[in-house]
């Protein structure tokens, strides 16, 4: 049953897109299970740059992809993304779950007007869409959009939400006019979506049963998970590895490995606690070199040192066995690199981050300093292989492996596909998943 979940261990933006794209060389199916177009997964390959928001990153290799039931599905973003992929000459082979939550234009407007500011959301309508899903009476699914009685369902939902929509000034005039405008847009989505729809639980479970290699691509990161992150400064879905089971409808027994994805430092977009946050020239250095600006919103990201208490927490709640470590090249040129190994909270030492916003806000990181490495020709290093990595960088990787009890399977030394360097343990992971095919 070769299935792996690639999960973000920090606050999102760990370069999961690049990791999934790298692994997708061997994959048969790449599956999104949570979130929506708040995600921004970047793949740089063959001279092209893809910015995926809804479509799984496997599409950059033309692989079969699935958008699962747990996703908040914005048909307008999907249409745009499919068109862009086709413009780039990509064959788009995506199944969209009939069970996925339908994210409508008013969700985006509500997000912008009501919740957007205090939490610093991406304003992609994520919170309001999942709110309606959980409320049930105001929720609509992709299946509803395709049904004969969609006009009646939409009318009922709009009537129930009218007061909220007026308060947020989404509806300024006649409800009937707003309804008719939405219905006519929905007609376009229905026609476009028809060839993509299906039952994700069947497609994915059959693939796993047939021994096909399935990658579940997490969106956002563990610390943004609605249940396990720094609530309320989180997104509204389950970003953790377990979300793959609920977000698609597969058994926990069907997942063989969890690949944690983390950057060599930490970043966060939007509000919320960030114990190892840096300010001033060091922050500037990392932000500029790492291109730390949001893929979805363009906002500058907050940056800071690597936070091992947080990663220990992530490793725990996700069951991380393997690690993909990204953006090591960004730290080049620093004489020494700090890593938080514990927190002090109210005079008490904590090895594992407490996932509570109030406690995390009080956390004082306890740092160790590791030796930095100089700027090198990373392309040349990737060409020569793992052994040619600078000793200080190897020491950094090994330190992390020991602290987290994980094995590194790849490191990222640049955004392009060819700048991901496979570690010796990648063979072990692929061997355990797909056996002999790994050598192909
Ligand atoms: P929302 O998911 O748009 O509701 O935003 C909630 C919080 O999650 C905000 O702090 C966002 O900046 C953050 N967030 C949501 N999606 C991503 C992502 O893909 N990468 C990084 N941060 C994200």
Q: What is the DSSP string of 182-232?
A: HHHHHHHHHHHHGGGEE-HHHHHHHHHHTT--EEEE--S-GGG-TTTSSTT
Ligand 1 centroid vs 408 CA: distance in angstroms?
26
286 token code pair: 């990392």
Nearest CA to ligand 1 atom 21: 12
- C-alpha 246/C-alpha 199 separation (Å) is 14
Q: Are 224 and 234 in contact (CB under 8 A)?
A: yes
For 65-74, b/e burial (b = at least 16 CB within 10 A) is bbbbbbbbbb
By DSSP bridging, strand 266-268 and strand 302-304 are antiparallel
Closest ligand 1 atom, CA of 35? 2
Reply yes or no on whether 13 is catalytic: yes
* Distance from the Cα of residue 12 to its chain's centroid: 6
pLDDT tens-place values along the chain, 440 residues long? 699 999 999 999 999 999 999 999 999 999 999 999 999 999 999 999 999 999 999 999 999 999 999 999 999 999 999 999 999 999 899 999 999 999 999 999 999 887 556 888 999 999 999 999 999 999 999 999 999 999 999 999 999 999 999 999 999 999 999 999 999 999 999 999 999 999 999 999 999 999 999 999 999 999 999 999 999 999 999 999 999 999 999 999 999 999 999 999 999 998 999 999 999 999 999 999 999 998 777 889 999 999 999 999 999 999 999 999 999 999 999 999 999 999 999 999 999 999 999 999 999 999 999 999 999 999 999 999 999 999 999 999 999 999 999 999 999 999 999 999 999 999 999 999 888 565 55
Could you identify the residue written with the tokens 């105001």?
138
Q: Are 315 and 341 in contact (CB under 8 A)?
A: no
Ligand 1 centroid vs 330 CA: distance in angstroms?
23
- C-alpha 70/C-alpha 288 separation (Å) is 34
Picking from 197, 165, 178, the residue whose alpha carbon sits closest to that of residue 100 is 197
Beta bridge partners of 97: 198
**Ligand 1 pocket residue status of 115, Cβ below 6 Å:** no
User: Does this model's pTM top 0.95?
Assistant: yes
Reply yes or no on whether 200 is catalytic: no
> Which own/partner contact pairs does 162-165 have at CB distance under 8 Å and 24+ positions apart?
164/110, 165/106, 165/110
Which of 220, 225, 238 for mutating ligand 1's site (highest number of atoms within 8 Å of CB)? 220
Ligand 1 centroid vs 13 CA: distance in angstroms?
9
- C-alpha 411/C-alpha 34 separation (Å) is 25
């Amino acid at each position: 049953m070769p299935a792996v979940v690639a999960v973000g261990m920090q606050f999102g933006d760990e370069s999961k897109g690049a990791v999934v794209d790298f692994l997708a060389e061997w994959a048969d199916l790449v599956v999104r299970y949570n979130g929506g177009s708040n995600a921004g997964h970047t793949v740089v390959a063959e001279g092209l740059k893809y910015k995926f928001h809804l479509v799984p990153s496997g599409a950059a290799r033309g692989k079969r992809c699935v958008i699962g039931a747990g996703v908040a599905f914005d048909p307008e973003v999907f249409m745009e993304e499919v068109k862009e992929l086709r413009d780039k000459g990509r064959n788009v082979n995506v199944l969209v779950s009939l069970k996925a939550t339908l994210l409508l234009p008013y969700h985006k407007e509500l997000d912008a007007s009501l919740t957007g500011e205090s939490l610093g959301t991406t304003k992609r309508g994520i919170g309001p869409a999942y709110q309606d899903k959980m409320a049930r009476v105001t929720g609509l699914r992709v299946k509803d959009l395709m049904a004969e009685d969609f006009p009646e369902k939409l009318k009922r939902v709009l009537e129930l939400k009218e007061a909220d929509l007026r308060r947020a000034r989404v509806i300024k005039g006649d409800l009937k006019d707003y309804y008719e405008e939405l219905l006519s847009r929905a007609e376009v989505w229905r026609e476009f979506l028809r060839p993509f729809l299906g039952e994700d639980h069947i497609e994915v479970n059959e693939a796993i049963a047939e021994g096909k290699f399935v990658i579940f691509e997490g969106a956002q990161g563990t610390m943004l998970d609605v249940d396990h992150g720094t609530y309320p400064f989180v997104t509204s879905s389950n970003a953790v590895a377990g979300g793959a089971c609920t977000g698609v409808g597969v058994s926990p027994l069907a997942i063989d490995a969890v690949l944690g994805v983390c950057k060599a430092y930490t970043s966060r977009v939007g509000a919320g606690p960030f114990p190892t946050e840096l300010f001033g020239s060091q922050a500037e250095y990392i932000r500029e070199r790492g291109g730390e600006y949001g893929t979805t919103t363009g906002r500058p990201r907050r940056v800071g040192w690597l936070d091992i208490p947080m990663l220990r927490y992530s490793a725990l709640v996700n069951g991380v066995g393997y690690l993909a470590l990204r953006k090591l090249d960004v730290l080049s040129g620093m004489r020494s690199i700090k890593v938080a190994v514990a927190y002090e909270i109210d005079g008490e030492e904590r090895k594992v981050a407490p996932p509570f916003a109030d406690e995390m806000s009080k956390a004082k990181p306890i740092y160790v300093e590791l030796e930095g490495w100089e700027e090198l020709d990373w392309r040349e290093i990737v060409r020569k292989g793992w052994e040619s990595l600078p000793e200080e960088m190897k020491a950094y990787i090994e330190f992390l492996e020991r602290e987290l009890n994980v094995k590194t399977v790849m490191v990222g030394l640049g955004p392009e596909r060819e700048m991901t360097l496979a570690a010796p343990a990648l063979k072990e992971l692929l061997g355990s998943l797909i056996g002999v095919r790994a050598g192909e």
